[in-house]
Structure 1
Amino acid sequence: MRVTQSMLTSNMLRNLSNSYDRMGKLQEQISTQKKFSKPSDNPVAVMMGMNYRKGLNQVQQFSQNIGEVKNWVDSTDGALDQATSVLQRIRELTVQASNGTLDADQRKSINEEVKQLKEQLVNIGDTQIGDKYIFNGQQTNVRPSDTGNYGSGTIELEVFSGIKLQVNTDGSALFGDLKDPNGSINKLIAGLENNDPSIGNMLSGIDDKINQVLTVRAQVGARQNRVELMEDRLSQQETFATQVLSKNEDIDIEKAIMDLTTQESVQKAALSVGARIIQPSLMDFLR
């Protein structure tokens, strides 16, 4: 087959165009730090990337949920810690009041402090996270002390595929008797007002109240440990999902720069050879 000058020129131009195209892709990859910019560049990688990104988004949503769970549980533990301190102070005052040597004014002072401590317990029972009351069951928009009836029902958040954790704590056993005349604290207040000589017998009711709070707090502590374990697991999953997605989509920047440098050298060589292939003009001969 006879090779003509036009064939050589056509091949040279086509090869130069292909070389420019490869350089353009490398420059775009370095600029975006992505292996592809449109689905047609690598349809398989695009489909895989969609699945990887879906998994990563799911893990990130679970991470947000576990953060919300942790917020509720930590706030509950803090509130119960305060409640324990208040109840222990009430117990101390009950022991003092059971001393038969106290006069009426001293008992009155103790009674006033007990009343204030009771109000503090009411405030603790109204603890909020944002605009949600954490001890009122599923009725998180209702202040428990307004009704005196603490709502029931559990609130759960999904923290992993198929795994849910309870975020709230039933407040009825802890604060539900604060408006009940037969509640241990209200009986104590009534006894102090009436100079009841059997104040010491009310210690058992206060102790039961303290034990109730400590039992619930132990349950909350166990829930905190579970939350921390799930938090660590989600952190590992997020790291793994991010790495897989990056491996599928992101370029190796150092390799891409080396490839671009190599392609630039190839381009320069192609231009140099092409200049020799193009047929000299008549003026070149006349020189």
Structure 2
Amino acid sequence: MISRVTHQTVQKSTLANLQMNLDRMSRLQAQMSGGKVITRPSDDPGGTAAVLQLRSDKRAAEQHSRNIDNGLGWLGSIDSALTTSLASLRRARDLTVQGANGANSAQAREAIAIELEGIRDAMLSEANTTHLGRSVFAGTSDAGMAFTGPDGTPPYAWTGATSSSVERRITPDTTVRVDVDGAAAYGQGAESVFALIDSIVTGLRTGGDVAPLLNGLDDRMKAMLGELGSVGTRYGQLETAQQANQKTLMDLKSQISGIEDIDLAEVIVELQSQEVAYQAALGATARVLQPSLLDFLR
């Protein structure tokens, strides 16, 4: 049986096809203006889900990058402080050897004592080094400084939090310690390197034998060298993680771009094709549908 095709049927069908063509042109124009294939989730549900997961991974990688940068800052400050302290401690040892010479006059011993006090104060300042307002030798303590001064109660007390450490997460499964136990590096209280230098100063001023105190300086130097070696190892670990994290970020950006970014040349060609098809459809419609003024008024 032959279906009856009316003027109204042709009109509805033609207008529907023209609307579909306009809709495709609109989507292509939106893609060109935004530079994205996916302008709304319904454009590609599977691609949208993949992009959301990739963006979540990218945010995590960016946070790891910030953690690594922060950790490098902490360890860099510690490395500088320990290196400077070791240089000061070597100078203190040389002065102690010089002061142990019994041929020194009282004035010479006093001059050595004054220089040692300056070294003690400089080392104490290094031991209280901070990074972004946090003491790098006091763990999670918020005391503001890792060691009290010579007038503290008790003198040279370590104010850090016992059995605590500052860590930074650099991968989903890896954390790295970015601080150093100040008590392990400098000692604390009467056993600290600061108190040891005070004992040497007292011995020089009272005419005592300071040679036996050289062993204490050597022990503190070994402790600092051990902590410095640990810092170097962790710094290298962070640098390796930084390189790997940068590659991960680049890969994630590339994957996101591959899913949601448009192929500009392809979209331009397709849009031009749709425009040609639309103009042709308009021309054909004008020939098929030629309403009179009376039809328009109805």
Per the normalisation by structure 1, the TM-score is 0.89
Cα RMSD of the aligned pairs, angstroms, is 2.3
Aligned residue in 2 for 1:240: 251
- Say if 1:158 and 1:165, in contact at 8 Å, map to a contact too: yes
Shift of residue 180, structure 1, vs aligned partner: 4.8
Distance 1:229 1:189 in 2: 45
Match of 1:264 among 253, 275, 287: 275
Match of 1:194 among 203, 206, 221: 206
Distance 1:17 1:181 in 2: 84
Q: Which runs of 5+ in 2 are unaligned?
A: 294-298
Aligned residue in 1 for 2:176: 165
Aligned residue in 2 for 1:43: 45
The secondary structure found in structure 1 opposite 2:116 is: helix
Aligned residue in 2 for 1:103: 105
Give a deviation string over 1:204-253, Cα, whole Å, max 9, x none.
32222222211110111011111111111211211222222222222222
Match of 2:128 among 126, 129, 138: 126
Q: Which runs of 5+ in 1 are unaligned?
A: 283-287
Letter matched to residue 49 of structure 1: V
Task: Give the count of matched residue pairs.
Answer: 282
Aligned residue in 2 for 1:285: none
Letter matched to residue 210 of structure 2: I
Shift of residue 174, structure 1, vs aligned partner: 2.1
Aligned residue in 2 for 1:19: 21
Q: Comparing both chains, which one has the higher relative contact order based on Cα–Cα distances under 8 Å and sequence gaps of 6 or more?
A: 1
The secondary structure found in structure 2 opposite 1:145 is: coil
- Say if 1:131 and 1:141, in contact at 8 Å, map to a contact too: no
The secondary structure found in structure 2 opposite 1:251 is: coil
- Say if 2:81 and 2:129, in contact at 8 Å, map to a contact too: yes
Query: Between the two proteins, what is the percent identity of the paired residues?
Result: 29
Give a deviation string over 1:107-130, Cα, whole Å, max 9, x none.
111111100110111111111111
Greater shift in the superposed pair: 180-189 or 76-85: 180-189
Distance 1:95 1:238 in 2: 55
Per the normalisation by structure 2, the TM-score is 0.86
Distance 2:130 2:122 in 1: 14
Greater shift in the superposed pair: 135-144 or 227-236: 135-144
Letter matched to residue 149 of structure 1: W
Distance 2:191 2:168 in 1: 33
Match of 1:230 among 236, 241, 255: 241
Give a deviation string over 1:245-272, Cα, whole Å, max 9, x none.
2222222223222221222222222222
Shift of residue 280, structure 1, vs aligned partner: 7.0
- Say if 1:5 and 1:279, in contact at 8 Å, map to a contact too: no
Q: Which runs of 4+ in 1 moved over 6 A?
A: none
Aligned residue in 2 for 1:71: 73
